[in-house]
C-alpha cells in the first residue's frame, strides 16, 4: 500500500513530526517512542509496528 496515496493528510502530518523531532534535544529512543505515540493516535498500524520495532532495537 502507498500510504501517501491512501492517506495524504496523515502522511504529511507524519512528515512534520519527522522534521521536528530531530530538532529536540532527545536521544533516538525517546524520539521513536514519540513517533509510536503519534502512530497510536492516528491508528496507523504500519507505523505503530515500525516505530515500536525501531525503539526496541535502540533499547
Which single residue is written with the C-alpha cell 492516528? 42
Separate counts of helices (H) and strands (E) for the chain? 4, 0
pLDDT of 26 reads: 87
> Domain-by-domain residue ranges, the chain?
29-59
pLDDT one digit per residue (tens) for the chain, 59 residues: 676 677 676 666 667 777 888 888 889 888 888 889 888 887 888 889 998 999 999 98
The pLDDT assigned to 57 comes to 93
Which stretches of the chain are DSSP H helices? 3-6, 8-20, 28-41, 45-58
Q: Which grid cell sits at 54?
A: 525501531
Amino acid at each position: 500500500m502507498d500510504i501517501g496515496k491512501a492517506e495524504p493528510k496523515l502522511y504529511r502530518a507524519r512528515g512534520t513530526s519527522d522534521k521536528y523531532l530531530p530538532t529536540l534535544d532527545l536521544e533516538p529512543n525517546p524520539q521513536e517512542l514519540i513517533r509510536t505515540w503519534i502512530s497510536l493516535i492516528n491508528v496507523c498500524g504500519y507505523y505503530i509496528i515500525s516505530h515500536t520495532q525501531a525503539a526496541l532495537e535502540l533499547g
